[in-house]
Amino acid sequence: MNILGICGSLRKGSFNRKLLREAVAVLAPDSFAEADLRLPLYDGDLEAAEGIPPEVQALADAIRAADGIIIASPEYNKAYSGVLKNALDWVSRVKGNPWEDKPVAIVSAAAGREGGARGQFALRLALAPFRVRIVPGPEVLVAQAADQFDEEGRLVPESYRKALEGLMTALRREIARSAAG
Ligand SMILES: Cc1cc2nc3c(=O)[nH]c(=O)nc-3n(C[C@H](O)[C@H](O)[C@H](O)COP(=O)(O)O)c2cc1C
């Protein structure tokens, strides 16, 4: 099983990246790579002059090649991050649809009490045009994120770990279903 992780935060100490790593530790795929979202801002003039930037093509290729994808995004002002939106927009300009039928699990960690629920909901809507297979739940919404990870980056509360295990079990099932055609 080949898993691609996408983190909507560029920050080195990102709680969403910690959450993504914890999800991968639970899933234990054969291989894992994290996407690099340090892309140029989408600009139609840049696209017209130079075509699809190589780093965008590389991201699209990684999405296409993955058996499943885990997206961890912070909530910024009740939406998902602009960095992630920029990546979604760029990838939508690549020939073909690398997302088609791809099993996707979404998790979020946020400072607020709802764990980024509205941002996550907005992300689910944003993915709809790409016809992915979003694993519906259990929802993983890590609230007050700064208090939930230990110094090694492990997610501590049992309730969150249970939810993450449930979501990864559902993702594994969806990947198996996809492979069976
Ligand atoms: C521009 C901006 C907007 C934010 N808006 C929200 C928000 O709507 N809800 C929330 O719970 N936290 C919000 N936060 C706090 C983030 O959840 C918090 O900084 C989180 O740790 C960011 O994710 P990261 O640790 O993966 O970088 C916001 C932070 C920034 C920088």
Q: Where are the domains of the chain?
A: 2-179
Task: Give yes or no for a contact between 30 and 1, defined as CB atoms under 8 angstroms apart.
Answer: yes
Q: What's the whole-number mean pLDDT along residues 85-90?
A: 98
**What's the CATH number for 2-179?**
3.40.50.360
Percent of the chain with pLDDT over 90: 98
pTM: 0.98
- Ligand 1 neighbourhood includes 166 CB (under 6 angstroms): no
Positive/negative CA dihedral, 43, 90, 122, 129: positive
Task: Give yes or no for a contact between 145 and 11, defined as CB atoms under 8 angstroms apart.
Answer: no
If you take atom 17 of ligand 1, which residue's CA is the nearest one?
Answer: 110
Average pLDDT, the chain: 97
- Ligand 1 neighbourhood includes 29 CB (under 6 angstroms): no
Relative to beta strand 68-72, strand 75-76 is unpaired
- Ligand 1 neighbourhood includes 67 CB (under 6 angstroms): no
Nearest to 24 by CA among 44, 5, 52: 5
- Ligand 1 neighbourhood includes 108 CB (under 6 angstroms): no
For residue 160, report the distance from its CA to the centre of ligand 1, in Å.
19
If you take atom 20 of ligand 1, which residue's CA is the nearest one?
Answer: 110
pLDDT over threshold 80, residue 181: no
From CA 143, how far away is CA 147, in angstroms rounded?
A: 9
Ligand 1 mutation target, pool 12, 17, 77, most atoms within 8 A of CB: 77
The whole-number pLDDT of residue 55 equals 98
DSSP string for residues in 47-75? HHHH-S-HHHHHHHHHHHH-SEEEEE--E
Banded model confidence at residue 74, pLDDT cuts 50, 70, 90: very high
